[in-house]
Chains A and B, each alone.
Chain A
Amino acid sequence: MITKFQVAYKNLLRKKVRSLLTLVGIALSSWVLVSLLGFNQGYEASLNKDIDNMGFQIMVMAKGCPYEAATLMLKGGTGLRYMKESIMADIAKEPEVQQLTPILMSAVFDPNKGESGGIAGYFGVDAKSFSELKPFLKFKQGGWFTDPNAYETVMGYEAAELEQREVGDKILMPEKNVQFKVVGILERTGTQDDGTIFVPLKTLQKVFGTPDEITTIGLKLKKGVDSTRLEEKLYQLPDVQIVSLAQVKETIMKLISTAKVMVLSIALIAIMIAMVGVINTILTSVWERFQEIGILKTIGAMPWDIFQLIWIETLLLCTTGGVLGIILALFLSKVTDVAMRRLLPYAPGGGLVMIDTKLILVTLVGILCIGLLSGIYPAWRAGRIRPLEAIREETGR
């Protein structure tokens, strides 16, 4: 026995070009929708990963206009304002704090980096507390510094790759002309740590003549504590400002959300246009088969049977187009990633487009629902065709 599915499928093959064009329209809309939903997921996941990989939940920094500091840094100044290292003892007393680590960010100008020179940045860290806050950091070669005062360095994977360094090699800090021995090279983390050069805090303070001064304190809080209360307390400290990474994430997401809403609207408009295309294709097909549908009723098809036939055609088009669009989105996810990175003012490391099984299923179901909606009118219209009208129209009687 022949099924309604077979009848519907074979009918779509009657006008191959028309069916193909409708499919392409749906596929393109699905591709846009999946890519954008994947971007929504991926951006947030990557941002979370970047923030989690910082290891800190709160950063305490020296007070000052960060904008001004940033421009100073970019133009070659040391830029950042300093805090006294002793402030750590005050912060450590707070009951909410589980662990903290001091960081000194310093930069020098390297005139031999390209045509007009460039900045070389260094992070002075306390290896013990820093590695406790970032336990996921693994070494490809070597390990942390042997002494807090040693002239040693640990390099992020990509920093080492660019400088062609291995454990045992030396690096030279330009401007200061100080040599450091490479004692460790980290494995890739997919974060900013990959491009970082770490040296012992005490050593960096000595090199830059800033004893007991640091630029940042990274804090990890105990589970379940109220971070807002701690932040309020920390704000009372003189000459510091607080960066709560949870709030930063929230702010970034809010900034991005306007763009996201706009972009999703475009995707939905694309879907609606595709829907209109589907309705048009199916309706045209129904008018072309006016007599045929009438005859189907003479051979026993009820209005619901005709409705089902037309609806199946619509579902077939939407499902096939949707699947093609999803496949296209999967193949082109890298391209979408690159395009988004160029457009966005800030993009976290890691993939920006995350298309997982759940997203694929949700999109497919969404497209199916849209297909069902699109098919209702043409299918209802076809179900109402009376056989006598069909015969009369053909014969003109």
Chain B
Amino acid sequence: MKTHLLQPLDICKTAKGSLGKRLAMLLSFLLVLAGYAPAWGAVGCDLNDPDRDVARLFPESTSYKTIYTSILKKGGQPLLATVERRLGDKFRGLYETIDVPYTIYEIYTNKQKVGYIHGVNQKGQFGGIQVFVVLNIEGTMKGFYIQKMTSQYAGKLRDAKFGKQFAGLTLKDFDHYDVVTGKASGKVEAIKNPAPEAEDDFRAALRATKKNLILMDEFVYSAPPAPSPQEALKK
């Protein structure tokens, strides 16, 4: 059954006369363009609606700040080598590269920084998986969120029950998780895959989480403190 969600314009009913024809033509042209998927510009992984998503993922937040960085900017080739060593895997393919932009959301409650949200893209079985970690100020996971995933079983991996299994985990827990073989121990081993049919995507989500935590450690938690203005001047 057709539903007129918006009032049809008179021109659609009659489309008579050259002005009506032209406008109908124009709308058809725009419709064709609308039929194309939107032209995505960013290769990075941003929250679709930061205002809404930050409030949802970090309920105690009052504001946030957005910082953009990349491995290239932060340390270049040596940093990439460090990240790959810690991940236990090389950066792969056309899209996992040194210049991928990363968006870090710094979360504040009033003027106090209370944590971070950070997302990475990961190659899944049928499409890109966007995996976000929600961290407190010490680097412990408070939350886990898959913003996008293409799979028949995506619903199970995007379910809150699955995400709850990551609460309280730290980068240290992923130290012995082998992203290549999937072998795990300790708390990571305890994470249950709710969709055994989508084992590849489950392991992709874990790889993405480990990579995410390593990047946050390199960009934020272990990064040398910013120099004081006096030290900056001396340089």
The reply, when asked whether chain A contacts chain B directly with Cβ atoms under 8 A, is yes
Complex CA gap A195/B36 in Å reads 7
Does B152 make an interface contact (CB < 8 A)? yes
B150 touches A244 (CB 8 A): no
User: Which residues from A are CB-within-8-Å of B15?
Assistant: 241
Does B231 make an interface contact (CB < 8 A)? no
User: Which residues from A are CB-within-8-Å of B96?
Assistant: 164
Does A46 make an interface contact (CB < 8 A)? no
- Nearest-CB distance from A63 to chain B (Å)? 9
Does B148 make an interface contact (CB < 8 A)? yes
Closest residue on chain A to residue B29 by CB atoms: A248
- A241 in contact with B28 given A105-B35, A112-B154 (CB within 8 Å): yes
- Nearest-CB distance from A198 to chain B (Å)? 11
- Nearest-CB distance from B127 to chain A (Å)? 4
Q: Give the contacting residue for A166; candidates B48, B93, B149; CB below 8 A.
A: B93
B23 touches A251 (CB 8 A): yes
Write out, one digit per residue, whether chain A residues 182-209 have a CB within 8 A of any chain B CB (1) or not (0): 0000000000111111000000000000
Does A216 make an interface contact (CB < 8 A)? yes
User: Which residues from A are CB-within-8-Å of B2?
Assistant: 68, 72
B37 touches A196 (CB 8 A): yes
A65 touches B40 (CB 8 A): no
Q: What's the dominant secondary structure at chain A's contact region?
A: mixed
- A241 in contact with B152 given A114-B147, A179-B126, A196-B37 (CB within 8 Å): no
Interface residues of B in 155-203 (CB under 8 A from A): 155, 158
- Nearest-CB distance from B150 to chain A (Å)? 5
Complex CA gap A158/B44 in Å reads 12
B32 touches A120 (CB 8 A): no
Complex CA gap A77/B4 in Å reads 12
- A112 in contact with B149 given A59-B29, A68-B2, A252-B26 (CB within 8 Å): yes
Does A16 make an interface contact (CB < 8 A)? no
Does A171 make an interface contact (CB < 8 A)? yes
A: number of interface residues (CB 8 Å): 64
Does A276 make an interface contact (CB < 8 A)? no
A68 touches B26 (CB 8 A): no
B31 touches A164 (CB 8 A): no
Does B3 make an interface contact (CB < 8 A)? yes
Complex CA gap A158/B38 in Å reads 9
Complex CA gap A204/B48 in Å reads 29
Does A257 make an interface contact (CB < 8 A)? no
Complex CA gap A62/B139 in Å reads 56
User: Which residues from B are CB-within-8-Å of A113?
Assistant: 148
Q: Give the contacting residue for B25; candidates A77, A197, A242; CB below 8 A.
A: A242
User: Which residues from B are CB-within-8-Å of A69?
Assistant: 31
Closest residue on chain B to residue A189 by CB atoms: B39
Complex CA gap A241/B53 in Å reads 43
Does B63 make an interface contact (CB < 8 A)? no
Q: Give the contacting residue for A75; candidates B5, B39, B124, B149; CB below 8 A.
A: B5
- Nearest-CB distance from A162 to chain B (Å)? 5
A158 touches B39 (CB 8 A): yes
Q: Give the contacting residue for A194; candidates B39, B95, B121, B158; CB below 8 A.
A: B39
B: number of interface residues (CB 8 Å): 56
A59 touches B28 (CB 8 A): yes
A164 touches B125 (CB 8 A): no
- Nearest-CB distance from A123 to chain B (Å)? 8
Interface residues of A in 66-125 (CB under 8 A from B): 66-75, 77, 80, 105, 107, 110-115, 119-121, 123
A65 touches B8 (CB 8 A): yes
B154 touches A67 (CB 8 A): no
Write out, one digit per residue, whether chain B residues 111-123 have a CB within 8 A of any chain A CB (1) or not (0): 0000000000111
Does B34 make an interface contact (CB < 8 A)? yes
A162 touches B40 (CB 8 A): yes
Does A128 make an interface contact (CB < 8 A)? no
B121 touches A216 (CB 8 A): no
User: Which residues from B are CB-within-8-Å of A331?
Assistant: none
- A248 in contact with B26 given A65-B8, A164-B95 (CB within 8 Å): yes
Q: Give the contacting residue for B35; candidates A107, A171, A346; CB below 8 A.
A: A107
- Nearest-CB distance from A77 to chain B (Å)? 8
B38 touches A195 (CB 8 A): yes
B126 touches A243 (CB 8 A): no
Interface residues of A in 342-383 (CB under 8 A from B): 346, 349
- Nearest-CB distance from B219 to chain A (Å)? 21
Complex CA gap A70/B93 in Å reads 37
A172 touches B8 (CB 8 A): no
Q: List 18 A-B contacts (CB under 8 A).
A: A65-B12, A66-B31, A67-B27, A70-B27, A70-B31, A71-B5, A72-B5, A111-B155, A112-B154, A112-B155, A115-B48, A121-B37, A159-B40, A161-B40, A177-B152, A179-B126, A195-B36, A245-B29
| Smallest CB-CB A-B distances: 9 pairs | A65-B12, A172-B126, A192-B36, A164-B123, A112-B154, A195-B37, A163-B127, A66-B27, A164-B128
Q: Residues on B close to A: CB < 8 A?
A: 2-6, 8-9, 12-13, 15, 22-41, 43, 48-49, 52-53, 93-96, 121-128, 147-152, 154-155, 158
